Amino acid sequence: MGRSSTVKETQALFQSLRSAYAATPNNLKIIDVYVGFAVLTAVIQVVYMAVVGSFPFNSFLSGVLSCIGTAVLAVCLRIQVNKDNKEFKDVAPERAFADFILCNLVLHLVIMNFMG
């Protein structure tokens, strides 16, 4: 009796999460997709390394780090662009996007250097 009720509760929880998420604006959803893509790429690289071996290690590190780094930058962008977030009300979304682009370029320069 108890188990089915917890199952029902988790189902209800997911339902409510899904319906709440559907309400988020589209631009945030795009950023979320991008973050998801970056993390997925990182996971694929780790799996590849686990299969093939970690030589050369620096390549692996740079690859994973680039994915994680861009994911982190995208999350920062999302935080700054989200209208509900009161701390970043003064920051125009375009400024946040410019920061995102700049940081990404710097990150990729470093990565390219490290990759060898």
Partner 1 sequence: MARSLPGFLALIVAVALICCSFAAAASTFQPISESHRSAALETFDRSYGSLEETYEALQTFDVLGVERKPDVGTAACQSVSQTLVSSSSTLKDIFYALKVNGVLKCEVDADSVEGIVSTLQTAVGSASSLLEFYHSIGGLVLVKNQALKDDLYLADAEGVFRSIKALSQSDGRWRYSSSNPESSTYAAGLALEALAGVISLSSSEIDQSLIGTTKNDILKLFERVEKYDDGAVYFDGEESDAHENQGPITSTWSVIRGITSFAAVTSGNLNLPGEKILGLAKFFLGVGIPGDAKDFFNQVDSLACLENNRVAIPLILSLPATVNSLTRKDTLKVKVSTVLGSDAPPLKIKLVRAKDTPAIESQELKFDSANKVHVLDTLEKSVDVGNYIFVFEIVFNDPEHKKAYAVESKTEVPIFLTGAVKVGNAKIAVLDSDLGSIETQNLDFAGENLVSLGANHLQKLKLRFQLTTPLGHPFKPHQAILKLTHESKVEHVFVVGNTGKQFEIVLDFLGLVEKFYYLSGKYEIQLTVGDAVMNSFFRVIGHLDLDLPEAPEKAPRPPVQPADVYSRYGPKAEIAHIFRAPEKRPPQELLRLGVNLKNFPSAAAPAAFAALFHVGIGAVLLLYVFFWLKLDLFTTLKILGFLGVFLLFVGHRTLSHLASTSSKVKSA
44 scored as a contact of partner 1 (CB under 8 A): no
Minimum Å gap between C-beta 20 and partner 1 is: 15
Residues 65-104 that bind partner 1 (CB under 8 A): 92-95, 97-98, 101
Whether 73 contacts 104, CB under 8 Å:
yes
Structure tokens at 35: 């973050």
**Choice between 13 and 109, CB closer to partner 1:** 109
User: DSSP readout, 57-111?
Assistant: HHHHHHHHHHHHHHHHHHHHHHHHH-TT-STTSSS-HHHHHHHHHHHHHHHHHHH
DSSP conformation class of 56: S
**Which residues 5-34 are close enough to bind partner 1 by CB under 8 A?**
26, 29-30, 33
Of these, 39, 68, 79, 108, which contacts partner 1 (CB under 8 A)? 108
Sites of contact with partner 1 (CB under 8 A):
26, 29-30, 33, 92-95, 97-98, 101, 105, 108-109, 112-113, 115
